[in-house]
């Protein structure tokens, strides 16, 4: 099986590549423009005979022969996706069109990593896949959430019109080793802050909730979806729901009880609550997450301490 992973030099992508490479029958090709990803995340595979890394921007055509496409390429942290919003929406729309064009030409199955952000600031809680969402079409997050919504539309139009085999995962907040230290997302921010002994920056009101999935569970869910018979969309996430204040308290207790928790300003349109209904993933994929937040955080701490050069002092 020859497998293309777009965005494979990023956080989730590089863990997915590790898992796919475990199977000796797989050849893996990564296409990435290194906007938020890095070669470092793939260093153990560079030079491997079953692995290839291409510097490529998905907004341009890619002509290769593959059997499966995991299409992840897209900046995921709000700071990075808002940095160049026009580029973000091009990545979601033109990038997904290009990958669907490739899938059509070579007859490959394609999986899109969509997002819980398609539900916007949800009025239904928890969110089942049947919920259509509450999304601001002209806000600062729209390049990403509306971009992913169009990407989902394109996937289904290619499926209905051209018979392409599609899979759509709606990923909920995922964390783990290899997140960029300056990624800007909440778990990586709090862990880096706790290790450096800086105050944890909880954005107001602090009562907003998220549900955090450990990356190994996520990769397992994505592969099951790709290998199964269901197009999706299917929510993949951990239903354990926490307020940002609770998350900060957990990080403080587990990593550095001396740090303060500071309330800081928030950004527009921040969703107030988010929790996946994973009934479909359980029934159709036989999948559910195994790693609890309090077990996952210390695994991430180890990786962050190494990269920050701050060993744990007892
Ligand atoms: N991590 C999460 O919590 C989460 C939640 C929902 C959805 N997702 C989705 O999962 C995917 C991976 O997210 P991640 O957390 O690993 O983010 P990430 O930023 O670490 O990885 C994204 C990768 O895509 C690459 N990329 C960006 N634009 C590109 C372009 N135009 N052409 C080629 N490569 C490009 C980046 O360089 C990077 O390697 C994204 O599609 C994201 O939207 C992630
Ligand atoms: O330092 C911080 C950073 C963030 N936050 C809060 O933490 C919550 C989560 O913020 P993040 O930036 O980690 O991520 P968000 O949930 O907003 O978006 C994410 O959702 C799913 C994916 O598609 C993407 O990975 C990303 O868009 C927000 O309520 C934010 O206000 C803090 O309290 N402090």
- Which CATH number goes with the domain that contains 300? 3.90.25.10
Q: Point out the ligand 2 atom lying closest to the alpha carbon of residue 266.
A: 31
Supply the pLDDT for residue 312: 87
> If you search the block for the tokens 């990545």, which residue do you land on?
91
Task: Kindly provide the ipTM of the predicted complex, given to two decimals.
Answer: 0.98
Give the closest ligand to the alpha carbon of residue 204.
Answer: 2
Between CA 174 and CA 151 the distance in angstroms is 20
285: in domain: no
Active site residue 119: no
Q: Which long-range contacts (CB under 8 A, 24 or more apart) does 158-166 make?
A: 158/100, 158/103, 158/104, 159/231, 162/104, 164/100, 164/103, 164/104, 164/110, 165/103, 165/108, 165/109, 165/110, 166/109, 166/110, 166/111, 166/112, 166/231, 166/232
Residues 86 and 219 in one domain: yes
Of 191, 202, 244, 267, the one to substitute when testing ligand 2's pocket (max ligand atoms within 8 A of C-beta) is 244
Supply the pLDDT for residue 313: 79
Between CA 314 and CA 312 the distance in angstroms is 6
Task: Using CB atoms within 10 Å of the CB of residue 282, give its burial: 0 to 12 exposed, 13 to 18 middle, 19+ buried.
Answer: exposed
Radius of gyration of the chain (CA): 19
Closest CA relative to residue 72, chosen from 124, 105, 33, 42: 33
Q: What SS3 state is found at 159?
A: helix
Protein residues with CB under 6 Å of any ligand 2 atom: 76, 78, 115-117, 173, 185-186, 189, 201-203, 208, 210, 244, 266, 270
Between CA 213 and CA 289 the distance in angstroms is 7
Q: Give me the catalytic one of 144, 158, 175, 214.
A: 144
Residues 85 and 35 in one domain: yes
279: in domain: no
* 10-residue stretch averages of pLDDT, the chain, 314 residues long: 98 98 98 97 98 98 98 96 97 98 98 98 98 97 98 98 98 97 95 97 98 98 98 98 98 96 96 98 98 96 95 79
Residues 181 and 170 in one domain: no
Q: Is the beta carbon of 91 within 6 A of some atom in ligand 1?
A: yes
Point out which residues pair with 44 in neighbouring strands. none
Residues 129 and 182 in one domain: no
Closest CA relative to residue 105, chosen from 30, 28, 164: 164
Give the closest ligand to the alpha carbon of residue 174.
Answer: 1
Supply the pLDDT for residue 314: 60
Distance 10 CA to ligand 1 centre (A): 6
Give the closest ligand to the alpha carbon of residue 121.
Answer: 2
Residues 56 and 144 in one domain: yes
Answer for the pair 283, 223: CB distance below 8 angstroms, yes or no. no
Residues 61 and 191 in one domain: no
What is the span of the domain harbouring residue 183? 175-210+240-274+290-308
As for how many domains the chain has, the answer is 2
Of 37, 142, 148, 185, the one to substitute when testing ligand 2's pocket (max ligand atoms within 8 A of C-beta) is 185
């Amino acid at each position: 099986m020859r497998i293309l992973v777009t965005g494979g030099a990023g956080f989730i992508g590089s863990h997915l590549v590790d898992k796919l490479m475990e199977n000796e029958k797989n050849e893996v090709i990564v296409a990435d423009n290194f906007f938020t990803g890095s070669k470092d995340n793939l260093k153990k595979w560079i030079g491997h005979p079953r692995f290839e890394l291409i510097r490529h921007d998905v907004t341009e055509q890619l002509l290769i022969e593959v059997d499966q496409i995991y299409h992840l390429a897209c900046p995921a942290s709000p700071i990075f996706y808002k940095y160049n919003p026009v580029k973000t929406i091009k990545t979601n729309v033109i990038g997904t069109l290009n990958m669907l064009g490739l899938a059509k030409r070579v007859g490959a199955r394609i999986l899109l990593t969509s997002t819980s952000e398609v539900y916007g600031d949800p009025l239904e809680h928890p969110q089942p896949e049947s919920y259509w969402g509450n999304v601001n079409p002209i806000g600062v997050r729209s390049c990403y959430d509306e971009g992913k919504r169009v990407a989902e539309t394109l996937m289904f139009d290619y499926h209905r019109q051209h018979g392409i085999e599609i899979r759509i995962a709606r990923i909920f907040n995922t964390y783990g080793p290899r997140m960029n230290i300056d990624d800007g997302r909440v778990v990586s921010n709090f862990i880096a802050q706790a290790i450096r002994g800086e105050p944890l920056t909880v954005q107001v009101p602090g009562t907003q909730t998220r549900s955090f999935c450990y990356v190994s569970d996520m990769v397992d869910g994505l592969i099951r979806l790709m290998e199964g018979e269901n197009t999706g969309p299917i929510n993949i996430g951990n239903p354990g729901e926490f307020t940002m204040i609770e998350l900060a308290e957990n990080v403080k207790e587990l990593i550095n009880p001396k740090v303060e928790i500071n309330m800081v300003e928030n950004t527009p349109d921040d969703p107030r609550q988010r929790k996946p209904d994973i009934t479909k993933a359980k029934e159709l994929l036989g999948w559910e997450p195994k790693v609890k937040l309090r077990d996952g955080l210390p695994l991430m701490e180890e990786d962050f301490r190494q990269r920050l050069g701050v060993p744990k002092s007892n």
